[in-house]
Structure 1
Amino acid sequence: MLRFLDAGESHGKALVSIIEGLPSNIKIDLDYINSELGRRQKGYGRGARMKIEQDKAQIWSGVRGMVTTGSPITMVIYNKDYDNWKDILESKPEEDKKITVPRPGHGDLVGFLKYKTGDIRDVIERTSARETAIRTAVGALCKSILEELDITIRSKVNSIGTIQDEEADLFDNSNYKIIEESELRCYNKNIEAKMKNQIDICKENGDTIGGSIFISMKGIPAGIGSYSQWDRKLDAVLSFAVMSVQGIKAIEFGNGLSQSLTGSRFNDEIYYENNKIERKTNNCGGIEAGVSNGENIELKAFMKPIPTVRQSIASIDLKTKTNVTNRYERSDVCGVVPASIVLENVCAFEILKEMLNKFPGDNFMEFKRSIEQYRNEIYTY
């Protein structure tokens, strides 16, 4: 079974992951992984931290000559900002230096109450979205493997606040080039300008703004996932992963939130065309009964506004037990663009895991051969 753990603090020495379950003989493309980390650092509305960090992953184990051996893979990303924080993080603070005012919307209060270290700094360091850098690196490794299997995952920003971008075919390369070159990863330039203006207004007002992200996954064969147990359903697996990303508060598959479609119009009718099973709609988002149906798997993820705001909002001081206003810590104004890259790679890990569950193999040639044989059988049914 493919799995990983990650560790590290936002301003600690490094972020680390150990990945277990990858077959041997997979060529690792470190440039691809680092390019995904670079994509994550871009975007209109990003904060000052991205001017400090230049994220690059290192691989410390599980490869030889940049080819997997079947052993656990260790990946490391050093935090450059650690040099500015090591005096704070390597010693216990004096009582008057402890953070005791929680920021509403963050994990500050619940972490303080749960772990009782007496200092919210310990909570901030692990709940920070900085953790998504190592998750992106893990996912990028998986995403590059999926591309070897003709599975592609792409995304775009669907909305910023109430401003909606227009729809676009992500697998039309000319469309996707426009999206990739956009600072807000959207398709319509006029809409992009409106989105930027909204972000600028929030920045000026000491506020933040959220939005939504559209993700499409092409090339996943029918039959991935299972309806036999609730926790093996593919949409449930993807939902768990997507919702675990900081700031994501809702998810929709296909047109699942549409209130205008009746059952007869929502169902994706099935046809035989050219001796192949075809669909003309994809309202279910490529998943039926928890199992992929061969269409693109499509979902939207909704991200709340980043809770760190410069405006004064009500909070409490846990030490003095008085009502105060919140404290501010460096933050982005809008995190929707980097979240789109994180989610591509988070989904890649889950899809590769499900592919390995269905087509287990100790080496990549065996794994790939099983998938090719399955595709030949299922698509000629």
Structure 2
Amino acid sequence: MLRFLDAGESHGKALIAIVEGIPSNFNIDMDFINNELKRRQKGYGRGDRMKIEQDRVELWSGVRGIKTTGNPITMVIFNKDYENWKELMGREPKDEEKIKIARPGHGDMVGFFKYSTGDIRDVIERTSARETAIRTAVGALCRNILKELDIEIRSKVNSIGNILDDTVDLYDDKIFKKIQSSSIRCYNSIVEEKIIEKIDMCKEQGDTIGGCIFISVKGMPIGIGSYTQWDRKLDANLSRALMSVQGIKAIEFGNGLDLSKLGSSFNDPIYYVDEKIIRTSNNCGGIEAGVSNGENIDMKVYMKPIPTVKKSLDSIDLVNRTNVVNRYERSDVCGVIPASVVLENVCAFEILKEIMSKFPCDSFQELKQYVVEYRREVYER
């Protein structure tokens, strides 16, 4: 079973993950993983924190050289900003140092009452999106393996606010190259300019903005996931993983939110052409009955605006129970662009987990052989 736990605080010494279930004898591409971390730090609307951090991961166990051994893999990313916080983070806070005013939309109030430490700082340190750095590293490791299984994951920004960049074929390399070179990660240059203007306006007004991310998984074999139990459905497990990322509020598979279609036009017709099973549409987003159907798994993921805003919002002092205005903590203006990279890698972990659930094995050679043979059986019999 593939699984991981991660730990660490936003301004703590490091972020750490222990990954169990990665097969042995796989040569890890460290440059690929570190490049994913670099991609996560880019994007228009990022805050000052990204000027401090230069994320790189270290592997402390589970590898010999760069080859996996089958043992649990420990991944570590050091926080450079820790040097600026180690005095405060290394001791009990004085009463005047404790944060007591909750920011609406954040985890401040719920965490304050749930864990009763008396300081919102303890909540902020773990609810922060800084945690997604180590999740990106874990997913990038899994994505490294998926690439060798001919499974690819790509994404783009579909919208910022109400400014839409229509979904395009992410597997047209010319189109995707343009998306990758965009600071917004969108395709339409005119739309890109409008989004930049919108983000600049939000920054000037002390506000933030959310949006939608389009993700596509190509190369998934038919039959990954299961309908036999509710907790084995592929779309359900992908949804849980994606919804666990900070700020994500909704997910759509295929065109599942298009209420204009009737059943006869929504369902994807099946054909057998030139000894291949094909569809002429992908309204279901590549999943039927909780199981992959061989088409691209297409998802739209919606992220709310970042809750930390400079604008005054009504809130309360949680200790004194008085009405106050919210406080400001260093933040991005728009987190949608880096979130697209995070979500690609969160998907990668979940996809590899499902693949290994169908093809349990100990070594990468076995895994690749099983997937190749299964594809041949499904598509060539």
TM over 0.5: yes
Structure 1 position 185, deviation (Å)? 0.1
For 1:5, the equivalent position in structure 2 comes to 5
What's the counterpart of residue 254 of structure 1? 254
Tell me the equivalent position of 2:116: 116
Per the alignment, residue 67 of structure 2 pairs with 67
Aligned twin of 1:372 = 372
2:167 touches 2:214 (CA, 8 Å); kept in 1? no
Quick check: 2:101–2:316 contact (8 Å CA) kept in 1? yes
2:307 aligned with 1:307, yes or no?
yes
Q: Does 1:125 align with 2:98?
A: no
Match of residue 138 from structure 1: 138
CA contact (8 A) 2:63 2:69 kept: yes
- The answer for the alignment partner of 1:174 in structure 2 is 174
Q: CA deviation at 1:321?
A: 1.3
Residues in 1 aligned to 2:373 and 2:130: alpha-carbon distance in whole angstroms? 41
Question: Please, what is the CA RMSD of the aligned residues?
Answer: 0.5
Deviation string 1:296-319 (CA, Å, 9 cap, x unpaired) is 000010000000000000000112
> Shift of residue 275 of structure 1?
1.7
Q: Distance in 1 between matches of 2:15 and 2:323?
A: 36
In 1, Cα distance between the equivalents of 2:289 and 2:318? 47
Quote how far apart the aligned CAs of 1:96 are: 1.6
Q: Secondary structure at the match of 2:380?
A: coil
What per-residue deviation string (whole Å, max 9, x for no partner) do you get for residues 274-299 of structure 1? 12111000000000000000000000
How far apart, CA to CA, are the structure 2 residues paired with 1:368 and 1:318?
Answer: 54
| Residue 231 of structure 2 corresponds to residue 231 of structure 1 | yes
Deviating runs (4+, > 3 A) in structure 1? none
Q: Deviations over 1:312-363 (max 9, x none)?
A: 0000011221100000000000000000000000000000000000011111
- 1:337 alignment counterpart: 337
Specify every segment of 5 or more residues in structure 1 that has no aligned partner in the other structure, as ranges: none
Aligned residue for 1:19?
19
State the alpha-carbon separation in 2 of the partners of residues 215 and 363 from structure 1. Answer: 29
Match of 1:161 in 2: 161
Alignment of 1:342-353 (within 5 A): 342-353=342-353
Deviation at 1:259, TM superposition (A): 1.2
- Distance, in Å, in 1 between the alignment partners of 2:265 and 2:102 is 48
CA–CA separation in structure 1 for the residues paired with 2:318 and 2:190:
47
Number of the residue aligned with 2:289? 289
Structure 2 spans left out of the alignment, 5+ residues:
none
**8 Å contact from structure 2 (residues 170, 176) kept in 1:** yes
Q: Secondary structure at the match of 1:212?
A: strand
1:49 paired residue number:
49
The residue identity in structure 2 corresponding to 1:338 is P
**What is the Cα deviation at residue 95 of structure 1?**
1.1
Partner amino acid for 1:205?
Q
Amino acid at match of 2:246: Q
| Structure-2-length-normalised TM-score | 0.99
Report deviation, 1:166: 2.2
Is the contact between residue 253 and residue 285 of structure 2 (CA under 8 Å) also seen in structure 1?
yes
CA distance in 2, matches of 1:80, 1:65: 26
CA distance in structure 1 between the partners assigned to 2:19 and 2:316 by the alignment: 40
| Mapped partners of 1:320, 1:275: distance in 2 | 72
Name the CA distance, whole Å, in 2 between partners of 1:351 and 1:360. 14
Matched residue type, 1:272: Y
Take 1:231 and 1:319, find their aligned partners in 2: how far apart are those partners?
40
State the secondary structure of the residue aligned to 1:379: helix
Residue 179 of structure 2 aligns with an amino acid whose one-letter code is I
CA distance in structure 1 between the partners assigned to 2:173 and 2:368 by the alignment: 26
Shift in Å, 1:251: 0.3
For 2:263, give the aligned amino acid.
G
**CA distance in 1 between partners of 2:63 and 2:108 (Å):** 39
Paired residues of 2:8 and 2:126 also in contact (CA < 8 A): yes
**Alpha-carbon separation, structure 1, partners of 2:378 and 2:13:** 48
Paired residue total: 381
Deviations 1:93-133 (A, max 9, x none): 11121100011101000000000000000000000000000
3-state secondary structure, aligned to 1:130: helix
**Which residue in 1 is equivalent to 2:298?**
298
Aligned counterparts of 1:53 and 1:313: Cα–Cα separation in 2 = 30
SS in 2 for 1:353: helix
Structure-2 separation of matches of 1:256 and 1:166: 16
State the distance in 2 between where 1:138 and 1:363 align. 18
What aligned pairs does 1:192-207 form with structure 2 within 5 A after superposition?
192-207=192-207
Counterpart of 1:9 in structure 2: which amino acid? Answer: E
Distance, in Å, in 1 between the alignment partners of 2:320 and 2:238 is 43
- In the superposition, the TM-score normalised over structure 1's length comes to 0.99
For 1:146 and 1:313, the matched residues in 2 are separated by: 45
User: Which residue pairs with 1:92 in the alignment?
Assistant: 92
SS in 2 for 1:271: strand
Residue aligning to 1:107: 107
Following the alignment from structure 1 to structure 2, what is the Cα–Cα distance between the partners of residues 312 and 366?
A: 58
